[in-house]
Structure 1
Amino acid sequence: MANQLIKSPSNFIESFINPYYLPSLSRLMTTSKRVQDRSQQKRVHALEIAVEKHKIASKILFLLELLKHEPEQIIPIRSLDQHRRQLNLPKPHKISDFIRKSPKLFEMYKDQRGTTWVGLTKKGEELIEEEERLIAENEEKALEHVTRLLMMSIDKILPLDKIAHFRRDLGLPYDFRKHWVHKYSDCFRVIKDEDDVEFLKLVSWNPSWCVTEVEKKVLGIKKIENHVPGMLSLPFPLKFPPDYKKLYRYGGQIENFQKREYLSPYADAKELKAGSVEFDKRAIAVMHEVLSFMNEKRLITDHLTHFRREFVMPQKLMRILLKHFGIFYVSERGKRFSVFLTEAYDGSELIEKCPLVVWKEKVVSLTGYRGRKKKICTFDDLDNFDDIDLFESDSEDENTIRIDRSSKEEDTMSDVEEELIPQIFEMDIGEVQKAYRDT
C-alpha cells in the first residue's frame, strides 16, 4: 500500500462541507411534481419483488442480530415489544406468531414463572457462526471499500456513524467501530471533534484503488499501480425495463449524455460548479461507485443523501436518481425509498452474489414468513411521462446549496441493524413526496 500521507482537510465552501459539524440535511430535494408522477409510473416488477424479499430478510436478520448479542442468546418475548418498529409488526399482530413461522431458526419456551422466552435453534446458532466466518473472509474487500469511500470524500474524512449505515451492506463486523478500524491504522485512523463525535480519516492514498468500477468493466482494467484519477468519458452500463416503449424518443439525449466527459469520483472536485451538467454527471459517477461497493448493489436512498456534503453531490439527488432510470432504479415500497444499480440485476436476482448474499438467502429460505401479498404495479407506456429535460442539470447553483441546521429528522429506521446503531436517522417517504409538490 502506498505511504503517501493525506494533507489536512481544506476549506470547501465551509458552510456547505464541515466534517466537524453534523447538521440535519435540508428536505429541499426537489419541488417538481413531475418527478413524483414519474416515480409512481415507472415500476419494474422484478425489482419490486427484490424489495419485498429484502423486507422479509430484514425482519429475520434483525431478530438474529438481537439474539446474538444477548448474554445467553435468549430474550423474553415481552421485551421484543419495544422492537416492533424494527420488526415492522404493529399491534395487534403478535410477535409470537411471527416467531412461530420460523421454527428452524427460533424456538420458544416458558420458564417456571410462566414467562415466554425466545432463543436460537441449533441451526440458528450455526448460521450466526457462519456469518461471522464469512465476514472475516470478506475483511480485505471491506477494507478496500471503506478506504475508497474515504478517498472519494472531499476532505478524506467521514463520520463513523454515517459509515455505520453501510455496515451490513459492506460486510463489516458488528463491532467494527471498536476494533476493526483500529486494526488498519496504516489506512485510516479515528479522530474526534470537540463534541467527542468520532470520524474516520484517511491516512494513506492507494493509487491502485482509485480506478472506478466503470473503468474496470468498460475497459477491462484489473489494476493500475500508479493510477491518477482525472476526466473520464466512459459510458455507464444501461439496462431499461423490457416494456419501456418510449426509449426511442430519448435515444439522442442518452447518447449525448453517455459521451459527455465527467470527473472521476476520486479526483479533486473542489473546482466543480454546483448547478453545472459536469457537477451532476460526477454525482452519478459517485452514486454508481458507492452502489457498486454494496453486497446487494442496492441501498436505502437516505444513506446516499446523508453523504451529499462529503461526496459533493447536488441537493436534488433524488431527482437525478429517478431521471437516470437506465442506470438506477428507485423503489418506493415500504417506509423508505430503495435505489438499485440496474446493471447488477437479472430480473429480481443479483447477477453476481457474494458469499454474504448467498448466506442471507439461505436464512430467508429457512423461514416460513413470506409477508403480505401486495399488488405490484408494472411499468406502463408512460403516456403522461414528459421528460424533455432528461439530461439537463438538476442541481442548484453553488450559491443556493444550503443546509437546514434547525430542521429535525424523524427516527423511523427499520433496517436490521438500526436499533443497534445509535444516532442514525432517515427521511420519511411522506416527507420526500411532500418535497416533490409544487410550491
Structure 2
Amino acid sequence: MSQSTSIPKKQQRVRDHGFDNYMEIEKKTRKILKFQSLIFSQYNQTLPISRLDNLAGRLGFKQFEAGAFILKFPHVFEVYEHPVQRVLYCRVTRKAINQIMQEKEALLAQIPDAVTRLRKLIMMSNAGRLRLEHVRIARYEFGLPDDFEHSVVLKYPQFFRLVDASDTRNKYIEVVDIDPRLTVCAIEKVREREYREKGMDAEDVRFSFLVNFPPGFKIGKYYRIAVWKWQRVPYWSPYEDISGYDLRSIEAQKRMEKRAVASIHELLSLTVEKKISLERIAHFRMAMNLPKKLKEFLLQHQGIFYKGELVEPDDLYLARRKLGALVLYSSRKANLDRGLVSYGRGREDDEMERFRRGCEEDGFEGGKDGKDGEGEDDLNLDLSCDVGSDFTDEEDNADEI
C-alpha cells in the first residue's frame, strides 16, 4: 500500500453531458450580455440592422452571424420596423430589461454583503492587499457594482484604503485591519454542521472536504485510499499568515498543497454563483500562493470542485438566472409575428424577409442551434464549489470553474 498522501495526478476523465449543456447556455449568455452592452451604448438604446455586422464584428461575430444570433433569442432581442424611417432596428425586449433592472436592484441591496466578501478576499492575500485592476476584472463574480472603487472602497474607509505602488503605477486595495470574525472559512462551517448532524469521527472531519465526483467517475481501491489519506492531512488556513514558516520540508509542501485547495474553495464560496473562470483565479495566483498550472491542479481535486444547484441562492443569483431562463426559450416556440417582434403594420415586409433569408443562405438559420461556440472559449470544464459583464479579450480563452 502506498504511503503517499498525494492524490494521483492522472485520473479518469468523465464527460458530464449535463454540465456540457449548462456550459452551452453559458456561452450563449455571454454573447447575449455582450450584445446587450452594445445596444445600450447606442443612441436611444437601439441598433440599426444595417450597422449590425460592423458593430458586432468588434465582439467577435462573423459576417451575418450577428443577425442569425438575435433571431435565435426573440425573448431577449426585438427586431422591429421604425415607423418613420421604414428600416429595421434591434433593441432589448421588455422581459430582458426587467431582468436587468431586477439584477441591479439586487446588486445594490446586497452591497453590505459585497463589502464583507471583498474584505475576506483581500485578507486571503499574503500582504493584505490586492491590485485594484484584478478586483475590477472579477467584480461581477463577487457581486461588486461597476463603480465599486467609489461605492464600496472609498465609501467604507474604516475597512479599505487605496494605495499607489511606489515602483509601478498600479493601485492596490488594502484592508485597514484583520477582523478575526471573518477568518472562518466556509468549509469550516460545513464541517461543524456535518459533525453535529451526522456525528462523524472528529479526526476524519477536522481537515476534510466534501467530495462529489461526476456521474460515471470510477473510483479504484488505491485512489480511494489516497483520497482518504489526503483528507486527513492538516493544513494552514487561507487566512493564516505563513510568512514565518519554513516551507522547504515535504510536510510543509503537503500542507501548502492542501492550503491551495482550501484557498480556491474559499474564493469560490465568496462569489455570487460559486463559480469563476480559471483566468480570473490566475489574477490572484501570486497573492494567494496558488499553483501555476491551475487547470491540472483543479482536475486533480475535481471531486471537491464539483457541484450542482446552489444550496442557499441569494436574490442576486436568482435575478441572474432569469436571463438563463430567457435563453432557454426556443425561438421556434416564440411567436415572431406578435408580441416580441413587431413589424409596424403587423406584417412581415420585404426587408425583414431579405434579412432573414440572407442569414439562412449563409448557413445561420435563426431557428437552429449553429456553432455558437465557434471562436468562443472552451468551457467544457465547470468545476464549481459559472457570466461576466466585464467583456475583455482575455476571458475568451478561459476555462470556467
Query: Given the two structures, how large is their TM-score scaled by the length of structure 2?
Result: 0.71
Query: Does the alignment pair 1:191 with 2:163?
Result: yes
| Secondary structure at 1:149 match in 2 | helix
Query: Does the alignment pair 1:181 with 2:157?
Result: no
Partner of 1:133: 105
63 and 180 in structure 1: CA distance in 2 versus 1, 3 angstrom threshold = farther
| Secondary structure at 2:139 match in 1 | helix
State the alpha-carbon separation in 1 of the partners of residues 330 and 30 from structure 2: 12
State the alpha-carbon separation in 1 of the partners of residues 106 and 35 from structure 2: 19
Shift of 1:215: 0.8
Partner of 2:339: none
Partner of 1:289: 266
Partner of 1:425: 394
| Secondary structure at 1:254 match in 2 | helix
Query: Does the alignment pair 1:273 with 2:247?
Result: yes
Matches within 5 A, 1:198-277: 198-220=171-193, 233-270=206-243, 271=245, 273=247, 276-277=253-254
| Secondary structure at 2:44 match in 1 | coil
What root-mean-square deviation, in Å, do the aligned CA atoms of Structure 1 and Structure 2 show? 3.3
- Amino acid in structure 2 at the alignment position of 1:361: R
Shift of 1:153: 0.4
114 and 185 in structure 1: CA distance in 2 versus 1, 3 angstrom threshold = farther
- Amino acid in structure 2 at the alignment position of 1:213: A
Computing the radius of gyration from Cα coordinates, the structure with the larger value is 2
Query: Does the alignment pair 1:364 with 2:333?
Result: no
Matches within 5 A, 1:133-172: 133-172=105-144
Matches within 5 A, 1:20-419: 38=11, 41-70=13-42, 72-77=44-49, 78=51, 81-84=54-57, 86=59, 89=61, 91-109=62-80, 116-193=88-165, 195-220=168-193, 233-270=206-243, 271=245, 273=247, 276-328=253-305, 342=306, 344-345=307-308, 349-367=309-327, 368=329, 372=369, 416-419=388-391
84 and 249 in structure 1: CA distance in 2 versus 1, 3 angstrom threshold = farther
> In the TM superposition, what whole-angstrom CA distance separates every residue of 1:129-161 from its partner, at most 9, and x where no partner exists?
211101012212211111111000001111122
State the alpha-carbon separation in 2 of the partners of residues 293 and 175 from structure 1: 19
263 and 233 in structure 1: CA distance in 2 versus 1, 3 angstrom threshold = farther
Q: Which moved more, 1:306-315 or 1:164-173?
A: 164-173
- Equivalenced residue count is 327
State the alpha-carbon separation in 1 of the partners of residues 157 and 214 from structure 2: 45
243 and 123 in structure 1: CA distance in 2 versus 1, 3 angstrom threshold = closer
> In the TM superposition, what whole-angstrom CA distance separates every residue of 1:298-347 from its partner, at most 9, and x where no partner exists?
2211111221110012223332211112112xxxxxxxxxxxxx2x42xx
- Amino acid in structure 2 at the alignment position of 1:310: A
Return 5+ residue gaps in structure 2 as ranges: 1-7, 195-204, 332-367, 380-386
Query: Given the two structures, how large is their TM-score scaled by the length of structure 1?
Result: 0.66
Identity %: 28
| Secondary structure at 2:79 match in 1 | strand
Structure 1 or 2: larger helix share? 2
Return 5+ residue gaps in structure 1 as ranges: 1-33, 222-231, 329-341, 375-410, 431-439
Do 1:191 and 1:198's aligned partners in 2 also have CA atoms closer than 8 Å?
Answer: yes
Shift of 1:284: 0.5
| Secondary structure at 2:126 match in 1 | coil
Matches within 5 A, 1:428-439: 428=397
Shift of 1:101: 2.6
State the alpha-carbon separation in 1 of the partners of residues 35 and 370 from structure 2: 22
